[in-house]
Structure 1
Amino acid sequence: MSREFPTGLTPPDWLVRNLQPQQAPVNRAAAVRASIAMALPLAVGLAAGRPAYGALASMGAMSGVISDTADAYRLRILHIAIPQLFGAVGVALGALVFGHGWVAVATLTGIALVSGMISSIGAVASASGLVLLLNSVIGAGLPLPGAWWLAPVLMSGGGLLVLLLALLFWPLRSGVPERAAVADSYRAVADLLAACGSEVPGEYDEARRAVTRSLNESYDVILARRTHQHGRSPDLTRLLAQLNAVTPVVEAAPAAHQSGHRLPPPIARKVRRLAVAVESGRTDPTPIDLPTPIDEAGRAVEHALRHAAEVVATPDVDLLGPAPAPPGLGPSAVPVTVAAVPTTALHVRAARAARGAALSAAAWRYGLRLALCIGLAQVLVSTIPVPRSYWVALTITFVLKPDFGSVFSRALLRALGTLAGLVLAAAVLTQVPRGWWDVPTMMLLAPLIPVLTPRGYGYQTAAITPVMLLLSDILNHLGTALLLPRLVDSLAGCAIALVAGYLLWPESWHTRVGDRLADAVADTARYVESAFGANTAPAVRARMRRRLYRDLSDIRTEFQRALTEPPPVGRHATAWWPLVVAVERIVDATTAARVRVKHGAAPPSPTEVSQVARQLGELSAGLREAKTLVAVRSDLTGPADSVLEPVRQEVAAARAIASPH
């Protein structure tokens, strides 16, 4: 029998969302790497009679384990090696100001400003900024053994050991992560086709969002590898062609879904067979045998799927997309073209991102927030004697990372995770004698980091806390005397982050969903114009559509983050949700209309197109000016049999959405 909470004791939704663990598979390879990389330095240090040296190397390995999140081998080099370089600089600077009072306060505050600003550049830069500040705090808060250069070498060496272990099987598995990513995209597309026409609420929408996530990940993996590939790689060219080839199938799916009837099962089965061929790296010469399509949507799916099968079956492929549609589709039918995403501009974009971070007001604001909190923490521990109080700044560094999630949520989970981790640390510090017993203990504790990290930040904190305390005890020999100060330090760090890094900044009280949604609506208006414009290249339309879906996926992520905030932020974010869904449906309807035109339907008149685009532009402008959603009457009219009729209906529905606030 289910047990219900009394009405007054029901926990609020934002608290339930924060505490609920996320579902994720266990990465056994990462767990094994963590166990070896963090226990081996301890063993070497003990064997050499320098356990403190081994503890420093294990600390560096821990940052490498935290950064070891990429599947592709070249991405692992970026995600692990580059942060280690920043970490070496950080620990060197921190060690130089250790025990220098206000000089250490000023230095760490300046490093926090730099760390916060570079975090806005991208994922690797964010991880680098995090490790830079973390190691600076450790260097300034712990008495490190040896010369000033020894700690940077040992900690970087520990992180690079994680990278070395991750790359051991590269010669045997080269290209495997990339092929797996593309194959997963094909499987996601198969699920999407199977959901077309489904009457189950949300089944198609969830499948389409899964396709967006999978395509985002696949393009990131493939293009990141191409950026570092010298010369032209046939394997990567083939994988990119296979990834591009599935995009027209994705574009045809909205039209099939709008038709209202399910696609024949052989269509989804064929896409799954193509996924197996892509993942194995072999061709699939089996002739494609599909039912005869009965409408424009069916012809679009069949045509796109035949091209995808041809690309997978052909050893040498180009990146131009499918050939022209078969005869009989009408004079308006044009080839479905998907251009390869260029990679020559990636370095230029990275340079622009770096310059943008230096000039961006948002980057400066975040840098100042982080610098203020770190400065307050260092002033606090400099004026109040707290043993080994570097933990306050460490807590702030982890909590005050908006690109990692809600600051409020992370502060709450940090406090709870630390409390759970201290319980485990107490057992370790009281029951395990220091010395060689630390090695098997670390072999058991270290794998918890990669295993629990995907579950949520609180679980990650619970895994990191006993590991960090064990390594700290090897360096300063305080034993269980560390436990209570660490809890007090963590709570103090959370309090500083919440007050000086969250409550004092009005932008923290408002969700950014509305502004980002306004940008997406404006981009949707341009997409509608380009979808039926004679002067817009098919490749440009495809990139616009992909960018739109990626942006909408980011908005969903921002929405989920806002839901973990306490009222009124979470309540205000909830009001935007219907419009997020409405904009996704507008993009789907526009894509479906374009596909129908390609495969025989009559194109809309320029007047119809401009009318829809104008209404979307008005909606975007209204979202920027209004603090809450307001219902707006739609004046869209047009022929009922036009391909734009579904688009008009979705735009009218979006404009009719009103907020209760």
Structure 2
Amino acid sequence: MAAGRPDYGALASMGALSAVIGDTADAYRMRLFNIAVPQLFGALGVTLGTLVHGQGWTAVAVVTAVALVSGMISSIGAVASASGLLLLLNAVVGAGLPMPGPWWKPPLLLALGGLVVLVLALFGWPLRGGVPERSAVAGTYRSVAGFLEAAGGPAHDERRQAVTLSLNRSYDLLLSHRTRRHGRSPALARLTAQLNAVIPLVEAASSAKLRPAALGPLSPAYPAAARRLADAVERGGAGRRAPGTALPGRTSPVLDLPPPTGPTERAVDRALRYAAEVMQEDTPDPFGATDRLGRPAELRIRARRTARAALVSEASWRYGLRIALCIGLAQVLVSVIAVPRSYWVTLTVTFVMKPDFGSVFSRAVLRALGTAAGLLIAIPVLAEVPRGWWDVPTLALLATLIPAFSAKGYAFQTAAITPVILLLSDQLNQQGFQLVLPRLYDSLIGCAISLVAGYLLWPESWHSRIGDRLADAVADTAAYVSLAFATAPGRDHPARLRHRRGLYRDLSAVRSEFQRALTEPPPTGALAAAWWPLVIAVERIVEATTATRVRVDHGVPAPPAAEVAAITRELDDLAGALRTGTAVPGGAAPEQEQEPAPAAGADGGTGPSGAGGPVTPGGPDGEEGVLDPLRREVRAARAIAAPAPG
């Protein structure tokens, strides 16, 4: 404004806006990538758009090609998704709005706006490097403490899901670093070891659900000890120690645990003490540490394969073609028909059709509602606020609404962004209040194109594959049940730990997919609602398996292999029925067909087999058979999947 070039300021502000929205990571290194890489793609996009501005069908072809590339790269990962969005978004803006020349100025101005945000975001890195990582791991320990408090109670499942999300977030944060810095960061190796040490504690907390209700909740000393461990992680510490000495600046957490009285208490006690020992270890060997998801080298190879597979997969091409079709139709429409501020039609399609942002149907509806609400905010601003210096405090005030509203949902985010974009656009074309109605019309046209060409014309949009995803999860659960009891008590199978962590991550993704499907219109929404209880039932089967294995490791007699095989077969049958859409073989096993069998020894001796057959009695803190809780969860899942009589 002081230089008399508000159009320059508008472009820089657009770059800053996209950088702020993309700054969603916690760790500074990830914030650097989340902001910088998409900004480079955005600069490329606005360059391409500026070069074809006003060139008719050439602009249509270029923007459509950019849409194809944007859709294909969006499935690689979060940073690639944001990069694809900015590539297409800025290409549309450059092709639709007159930009200040020469051609290199618009990308430079957008990049400078993003650079301001990047500098502010990384300002504390020299003083606070590593703090977000430690906070994430400490937060996982605190979520486990809440899980221990709720173990066996009404909030048990909710707290378990919170632990799963926290573990996913912490592993993503640490492993994304280790794939690039493997062998060069003792601090990250130590944090990874501390995060690995929480896994036995999570499994022990799961076993508390199987304790008889008469014993009451676990002692409050256990969650208190977990919170002291969290404090120790957050305090951090550095340096090596000589044998027999404490780490500099670090004291051993005082656990103050009661004497264990049963298998669950023994499991929790041992897990807490093990975690406390890890807190005091020398810096772990960064080349020898194996985390619960596999070695970092394997993750690096897997990441490359994932990116390569995403670029050549049929799903990526189909989504790229969907976006290209919608963008192409929008560009053709505004080229043939005189539509005021026509680039808004294509911008709306860009936001609605973003492949990893959820349901196209619900986003189109929410986009229309959010735009209408945002225009109600913009109308008095454009009508009453004088253009010029008043725009600066007005934009600053409106911008504060974006983070506050974004957390409430997509419609709220759209409502907050709309008046900001209108004011910035007005700096480039000086239309004032005349922007309001065209903005509404163009958004409605863009939403209609997305619904028809991007949703209704593609059967996979409304013929959901959630049944196949659920069947895969059940089959993986069957494999986990088999692994869980493949070794003698006290001798765990390394593959079980990795399989369990990966299975919980997959189940979390399935849960998110089902929650998105619930927002779809029939038949997808109705199908997701009908199968939602089965998603919860599968999660409970995984937890019951883990809890049973923990109890076997701490005193409960091991189940016969034949009984484990029978449960595995039931789960395989359920997976097959879900995949084919047929009835579950044999239906749900009757609840009362079982007779107690002699207790199996620690070596897992054999006994009668078959679904609903004899069971092994429980251990010291319960009378029920060791596999009975798992059987009940499997029966419940099969009953949900079985068709209703008649």
- 1:167 pairs with one of 118, 122, 129: 122
Residue number in structure 2 paired with 1:579? 534
Q: 1:418, CA displacement in angstroms?
A: 0.7
Judged with a 3 Å threshold, the aligned counterparts in structure 2 of structure 1 residues 483 and 205 are, in CA distance, closer, same or farther, namely same
Larger RCO: Structure 1 or Structure 2 (Cα < 8 Å, ≥ 6 residues apart)?
1
Q: 1:313, CA displacement in angstroms?
A: 4.1
Residues 264-312 of structure 1 show CA distances to partners (whole Å, capped at 9, x for unaligned) of 1110111111112212225442432212222222111110111112222
Tell me the secondary structure at the aligned position of residue 255 of structure 1.
helix
- Counterpart CA distance in 2 for 1:168 and 1:111 is 34
Residue number in structure 1 paired with 2:217? 262
- Counterpart CA distance in 2 for 1:423 and 1:66 is 22
Q: 1:214, CA displacement in angstroms?
A: 0.5
Residues 230-264 of structure 1 show CA distances to partners (whole Å, capped at 9, x for unaligned) of 74212111111111111100011221211134111
Matched residue count: 599
Unaligned runs of 5+ in 2: 238-249, 590-610, 618-624
Maintained 8 Å contact 1:521/1:616: yes
Name the aligned partner's letter for residue 618 of structure 1: D
- 1:373 pairs with one of 323, 326, 339: 326
- Range with greater deviation from structure 2 (339-348 or 137-146): 339-348
Name the aligned partner's letter for residue 304 of structure 2: A
Maintained 8 Å contact 2:541/2:630: yes
Tell me the secondary structure at the aligned position of residue 455 of structure 1.
coil
- Counterpart CA distance in 2 for 1:302 and 1:317 is 23
Name the aligned partner's letter for residue 239 of structure 1: L
Q: 1:608, CA displacement in angstroms?
A: 2.1
- Range with greater deviation from structure 2 (189-198 or 636-645): 636-645
Residues 440-496 of structure 1 show CA distances to partners (whole Å, capped at 9, x for unaligned) of 122112222222111111111111111111111101111111111110000000111
Residue number in structure 2 paired with 1:643? 626
Residue number in structure 2 paired with 1:497? 450
Residue number in structure 2 paired with 1:23? none
Maintained 8 Å contact 1:181/1:217: yes
Residue number in structure 2 paired with 1:655? 638
- 1:610 pairs with one of 565, 579, 590: 565
Judged with a 3 Å threshold, the aligned counterparts in structure 2 of structure 1 residues 637 and 318 are, in CA distance, closer, same or farther, namely farther
- Counterpart CA distance in 1 for 2:291 and 2:41 is 39
Residue number in structure 1 paired with 2:337? 384
- 2:205 pairs with one of 253, 259, 274: 253
- Range with greater deviation from structure 2 (374-383 or 555-564): 555-564
Judged with a 3 Å threshold, the aligned counterparts in structure 2 of structure 1 residues 376 and 464 are, in CA distance, closer, same or farther, namely same
TM-score by length of 2: 0.89
- 1:86 pairs with one of 38, 41, 45: 41
Maintained 8 Å contact 1:529/1:613: yes
Name the aligned partner's letter for residue 649 of structure 1: R
Tell me the secondary structure at the aligned position of residue 294 of structure 1.
coil
Judged with a 3 Å threshold, the aligned counterparts in structure 2 of structure 1 residues 264 and 655 are, in CA distance, closer, same or farther, namely same
Tell me the secondary structure at the aligned position of residue 439 of structure 1.
helix
- List aligned pairs for 1:321-470, cutoff 5 A: 339=292, 341-470=294-423
Cα RMSD (Å) of the superposition?
2.3
Judged with a 3 Å threshold, the aligned counterparts in structure 2 of structure 1 residues 469 and 630 are, in CA distance, closer, same or farther, namely farther
- Counterpart CA distance in 1 for 2:211 and 2:287 is 28
Judged with a 3 Å threshold, the aligned counterparts in structure 2 of structure 1 residues 338 and 125 are, in CA distance, closer, same or farther, namely closer
Name the aligned partner's letter for residue 257 of structure 1: K
2:185 paired with 1:233: yes
Q: 1:343, CA displacement in angstroms?
A: 2.1
Residues 100-144 of structure 1 show CA distances to partners (whole Å, capped at 9, x for unaligned) of 111111111111111111111111111111111101100110111
- List aligned pairs for 1:3-152, cutoff 5 A: 46-152=1-107
Name the aligned partner's letter for residue 285 of structure 1: S
Name the aligned partner's letter for residue 372 of structure 1: L
Maintained 8 Å contact 2:361/2:455: yes
Residues 319-364 of structure 1 show CA distances to partners (whole Å, capped at 9, x for unaligned) of 9999xxxxxxxxxxxxxx9657422234322321222122212111
Residues 156-203 of structure 1 show CA distances to partners (whole Å, capped at 9, x for unaligned) of 2211221111000111111111111111111110011111122x3xx1
- List aligned pairs for 1:150-161, cutoff 5 A: 150-161=105-116
Judged with a 3 Å threshold, the aligned counterparts in structure 2 of structure 1 residues 368 and 320 are, in CA distance, closer, same or farther, namely closer
Judged with a 3 Å threshold, the aligned counterparts in structure 2 of structure 1 residues 320 and 158 are, in CA distance, closer, same or farther, namely closer
Maintained 8 Å contact 2:13/2:110: yes
- Counterpart CA distance in 1 for 2:253 and 2:5 is 63
Tell me the secondary structure at the aligned position of residue 389 of structure 2.
coil
Maintained 8 Å contact 1:552/1:584: yes
2:595 paired with 1:619: no
Judged with a 3 Å threshold, the aligned counterparts in structure 2 of structure 1 residues 379 and 618 are, in CA distance, closer, same or farther, namely same
Judged with a 3 Å threshold, the aligned counterparts in structure 2 of structure 1 residues 581 and 631 are, in CA distance, closer, same or farther, namely farther
- 1:485 pairs with one of 430, 438, 460: 438
- Counterpart CA distance in 2 for 1:628 and 1:206 is 31
Maintained 8 Å contact 1:189/1:250: yes
Q: 1:538, CA displacement in angstroms?
A: 3.5
- Counterpart CA distance in 2 for 1:530 and 1:504 is 44
- Range with greater deviation from structure 2 (169-178 or 560-569): 560-569
Tell me the secondary structure at the aligned position of residue 47 of structure 1.
coil
Judged with a 3 Å threshold, the aligned counterparts in structure 2 of structure 1 residues 141 and 99 are, in CA distance, closer, same or farther, namely same
Name the aligned partner's letter for residue 178 of structure 1: E
TM-score by length of 1: 0.87
- Counterpart CA distance in 2 for 1:178 and 1:370 is 36
Name the aligned partner's letter for residue 420 of structure 2: V
Maintained 8 Å contact 1:417/1:458: yes
- Counterpart CA distance in 1 for 2:201 and 2:124 is 34
- Range with greater deviation from structure 2 (434-443 or 95-104): 434-443
Residues 76-110 of structure 1 show CA distances to partners (whole Å, capped at 9, x for unaligned) of 11211111111111111111111111111111111
- Counterpart CA distance in 2 for 1:265 and 1:463 is 44
Judged with a 3 Å threshold, the aligned counterparts in structure 2 of structure 1 residues 631 and 502 are, in CA distance, closer, same or farther, namely farther
Name the aligned partner's letter for residue 71 of structure 1: D
Maintained 8 Å contact 1:319/1:340: no
Tell me the secondary structure at the aligned position of residue 345 of structure 1.
helix
Maintained 8 Å contact 1:311/1:317: no
Identical columns (%): 63
Residues 573-605 of structure 1 show CA distances to partners (whole Å, capped at 9, x for unaligned) of 111112111111111111112112222333222
Maintained 8 Å contact 1:319/1:338: no
- Range with greater deviation from structure 2 (493-502 or 422-431): 422-431
- 1:289 pairs with one of 256, 260, 271: 256
Tell me the secondary structure at the aligned position of residue 160 of structure 2.
helix
- Counterpart CA distance in 2 for 1:452 and 1:628 is 46
- Counterpart CA distance in 2 for 1:401 and 1:630 is 41
Q: 1:315, CA displacement in angstroms?
A: 5.5
Which runs of at least 4 in structure 1 moved beyond 4 Å after TM superposition? Answer: 317-322, 337-341, 627-631
Residues 512-566 of structure 1 show CA distances to partners (whole Å, capped at 9, x for unaligned) of 3321111111111111121122499633211111111111111111121122223
Q: 1:436, CA displacement in angstroms?
A: 2.0
- Range with greater deviation from structure 2 (96-105 or 132-141): 96-105
Name the aligned partner's letter for residue 495 of structure 1: A
Maintained 8 Å contact 2:225/2:254: no
- Counterpart CA distance in 2 for 1:75 and 1:631 is 51
Judged with a 3 Å threshold, the aligned counterparts in structure 2 of structure 1 residues 341 and 173 are, in CA distance, closer, same or farther, namely farther
Judged with a 3 Å threshold, the aligned counterparts in structure 2 of structure 1 residues 369 and 409 are, in CA distance, closer, same or farther, namely same
Residue number in structure 2 paired with 1:29? none
Tell me the secondary structure at the aligned position of residue 168 of structure 1.
coil
Residue number in structure 1 paired with 2:277? 310
Residue number in structure 1 paired with 2:138? 183
- Counterpart CA distance in 1 for 2:385 and 2:197 is 57
Tell me the secondary structure at the aligned position of residue 113 of structure 1.
helix
Name the aligned partner's letter for residue 110 of structure 1: A
Residue number in structure 2 paired with 1:532? 485
